[in-house]
């Protein structure tokens, strides 16, 4: 798998919470998780994906630019080749796209849900991969399917129950 990580450093004047959130990002684990998700979704390990780790200011800029929504969010996904899950016989291949994660938003969400920042980043990474594969959660049926697959991938990867998903306002 060709996973490329672009990690923004915590801002120089960052508070302790922000420095700690960025320090908890384990790209090796996220890389293994992406490969696991690719295997589960029958995506070729040669498929390219880019993961950017950004601060809240940059995430807010991206959120406004692409969604016209204010403030930072947890994860954004930008599919490239419009890949869909493949099959054992014909795995999907190409450029999956870009996933943008914000560790400080993940840290707050994880704390509110009772799990670690890294658990939240794992959840958000799988969420981003699934969005890039065409899954969505705009309806109750779509959410049940996407979140079910997400939980299954995470439970297998972590070897324990998957972290609980953060629910967002439907306008986000």
CATH number at residue 8: 3.40.390.30
- The yes-or-no verdict on residue 36 having pLDDT over 50 is yes
How far apart CA 113 and CA 42 sit, in angstroms, is 30
36 belongs to a structural domain: yes
Whether residue 88 lies inside any domain: the answer is: yes
Mean pLDDT of 113-134: 97
The residue written with tokens 């959130």 in the block is 21
142 has pLDDT over 80: yes
The fraction of the chain above a pLDDT of 90, given in percent, is: 88
Cα dihedral sign, 126-129-135-139: positive
Based on DSSP, count helices (H) and strands (E) in the chain, helices before strands. 6, 4
Q: What is the mean pLDDT of residues 14-22?
A: 93
Q: pLDDT tier at 156 (50, 70, 90 boundaries)? A: very high
Q: What is the pTM of this model?
A: 0.94
Q: What does the pLDDT read at residue 4?
A: 92
Query: What is the pLDDT, as a whole number, of residue 3?
Result: 82
pLDDT at 2 over 90: no
Q: Which residues have C-beta within 8 Å of that of residue 43, sequence separation ≥ 6?
A: 37, 83, 85, 86, 91, 92, 93, 96, 133
pLDDT at 154 over 50: yes
- pLDDT of res. 136: 95
Give residue 1's pLDDT: 58
> Mean of the pLDDT values across residues 25-33?
96
Do the domain assignments include residue 134? yes
pLDDT attached to residue 123: 98
Structural domain includes residue 165? no
Closest Cα partner for 33 from 94, 119, 107, 102?
Answer: 119
Q: Can you give the pLDDT at residue 11? A: 80
Q: Which residues span the domain enclosing 95?
A: 2-158
Q: How many CB atoms lie within 10 A of CB 144?
A: 11
Domain membership flag for residue 164: no
Closest CA to 112 of 167, 157, 172, 169: 167
Q: How many domains, the chain?
A: 1
Write out the E strands in 33-114.
48-53, 75-79, 95-101
Residue 171 in any domain: the answer is no
pLDDT value at residue 166: 79
Residue 47 above 80 pLDDT? yes
In a domain, 22, yes or no: yes
Does residue 172 belong to any structural domain of this protein?
A: no
167 has pLDDT over 80: no
């Amino acid at each position: 798998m060709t996973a490329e990580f672009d990690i923004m450093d915590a801002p120089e004047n960052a508070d302790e919470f922000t420095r700690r959130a960025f320090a908890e990002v384990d790209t090796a684990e996220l890389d293994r998780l992406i490969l696991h998700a690719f295997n589960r979704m029958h995506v070729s390990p040669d498929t390219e994906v880019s993961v950017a780790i950004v601060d809240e200011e940059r995430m807010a800029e991206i959120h406004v630019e692409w969604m016209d929504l204010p403030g930072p969010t947890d994860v954004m996904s930008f599919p490239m080749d419009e890949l869909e899950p493949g099959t054992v016989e014909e795995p999907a291949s190409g450029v999956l796209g870009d996933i943008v994660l914000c560790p400080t938003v993940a840290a707050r969400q994880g704390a509110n849900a009772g799990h670690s920042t890294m658990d939240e980043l794992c959840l958000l990474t799988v969420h981003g991969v699934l969005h890039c594969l065409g899954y969505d959660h705009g309806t109750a049926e779509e959410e049940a399917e996407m979140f079910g697959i997400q939980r299954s991938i995470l439970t297998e990867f972590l070897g324990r129950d998957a972290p609980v998903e953060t629910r967002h306002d439907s306008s986000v």
